[in-house]
Amino acid sequence: MFYKYYPLTILILGALLGLYIYNLDSTTFEYTLPFSDLTYDMPVALWVVIIVYAFFFITIVFIFSDRMGKFLSNNAIKSDKKIFIQKIKNKIIERKDENLILKTSLFKEIGNIIDQFDISPKVDSTECQNAEIKKILAMYSNLKNGEEIDIHKFNIPKTSSLFTLNVKNSISKNYKNGLPIIKNKNYIYELKKFAFIALIKNADNKEIEKYKDQISYDREIALEMLNVFVEGRISLSNQEISDMCKNAKFTKDDYLNLVKSAKGKLDPNAWIKISEYLADNDENAENAYFYVLLELEMLDRAKERLRTQPAYEFLNVRAYLDLKIAGKSYPTDLFFK
């Protein structure tokens, strides 16, 4: 309020001061500008008024510059606050934006610290005074709770783990949502794999057959495929099973767990043929094949195959056979851990 009446007050006081001095002394004063021939001859009262108004103008300049400085500073703080909030949002949704430049020293320091960390909100945390951050927190909680969101509404990039999670949520609701992803080269392997496993778990043999050559198999996919095969939901040839296991780099334990899981689910003839084929094509499957032979009491066949192996190999099988010869009988699983 003071600044509102200050100029008018000075103008009135200056005019009254001039009139008062003029009434006291109406003489004139002559002044020549330095380094110039210009000379001014004016009443003393006018000279006083000019000096007062000159000081008034100088104070106005200082006041204006101070207010302008505060105005610019406040604007810079408001601008940096918006940018800082956007930086936090970008951190949460994993978006990189190098155009967000902070200007004030305080926000620069805090922003530089924030840049050194990854930010992940607490799940179900929505308590926040800032409306924009509150929306991001709600979106994050929804995603973590398995909901599908409008990804474009929050400008989430495809490289973000939140984008990946959203796609997974969509596939979890309906495996058919992932079918276009399996064939699409623009999606990362993690999503293609997730979509394919969802397909394996939920689709019928005909649909699985349609997509089974559209993705490279890792160990997890191979295990899922073999699991549904053992359950009788899909058909696989011995060659396909062998190739799948070798490409997934199955260990001895993997092969053993496979044949154990097939026990009682596959026809004994199919069980023995598959395990034999696996052993003939990968030495890691040899122990699993012996398990099947002993489990089916095919002892002569086991002894014959054991003769081709070094004496220090498969001591568990040798021990089992020795006990059998001695008239002892123990569960096969005790020798295959």
Contact present, 42 and 29 (Cβ < 8 Å):
yes
Residue located via tokens 């940018």: 83
pLDDT beyond 90 at 165 = yes
CA 43 to chain centre: 80
Which pLDDT score is estimated for 271? 95
Segments forming the whole domain that contains residue 36: 2-90
Mean pLDDT of 62-91: 79
Which pLDDT score is estimated for 56? 74
Kindly state whether residue 22 falls inside one of the protein's structural domains. yes
Residue located via tokens 């100088």: 58
pTM above 0.75, yes or no: no
pLDDT beyond 60 at 2 = no
Would you tell me how many other CB atoms lie within 10 Å of the CB of residue 216?
A: 11
Kindly state whether residue 321 falls inside one of the protein's structural domains. no
DSSP string, 157-173: -TTSHHHHHHHHHHHHH
What percent of the chain stands above pLDDT 90?
Answer: 39
> Mean pLDDT for the chain?
85
> Which has more pLDDT, 252 or 53?
252
Q: Answer positive or negative: Cα dihedral of 147, 150, 154, 155.
A: positive
Which pLDDT score is estimated for 296? 93
Mean pLDDT of 78-107: 83
* Residue 30's pLDDT band (cuts 50, 70, 90): low
Which pLDDT score is estimated for 133? 85
Kindly state whether residue 74 falls inside one of the protein's structural domains. yes
Kindly state whether residue 194 falls inside one of the protein's structural domains. no
pLDDT beyond 60 at 1 = no
Kindly state whether residue 174 falls inside one of the protein's structural domains. no
Kindly state whether residue 101 falls inside one of the protein's structural domains. no
Look at the chain and report how many structural domains it folds into.
1
285 DSSP 8-state letter:
G
What percent of the chain stands above pLDDT 70?
Answer: 91
* Residue 263's pLDDT band (cuts 50, 70, 90): very high
The strand ranges marked E within 211-299 are none
Give me the helix-helix angle, 219-230 and 189-202, nearest 10°. Answer: 10
pLDDT beyond 80 at 32 = no
The per-residue pLDDT for range 89-99, each reduced to its tens digit, is 888 888 887 67
Q: Answer positive or negative: Cα dihedral of 213, 215, 216, 217.
A: negative
Mean pLDDT of 109-138: 81
Kindly state whether residue 62 falls inside one of the protein's structural domains. yes
pLDDT beyond 80 at 23 = no
* Residue 246's pLDDT band (cuts 50, 70, 90): very high
Distance CA 199, CA 212 (A): 10
Kindly state whether residue 249 falls inside one of the protein's structural domains. no
Residue 241 backbone dihedrals phi, psi, to 5 degrees: -65, -45
The per-residue pLDDT for range 303-320, each reduced to its tens digit, is 999 998 888 889 999 999
> Which has more pLDDT, 174 or 151?
174
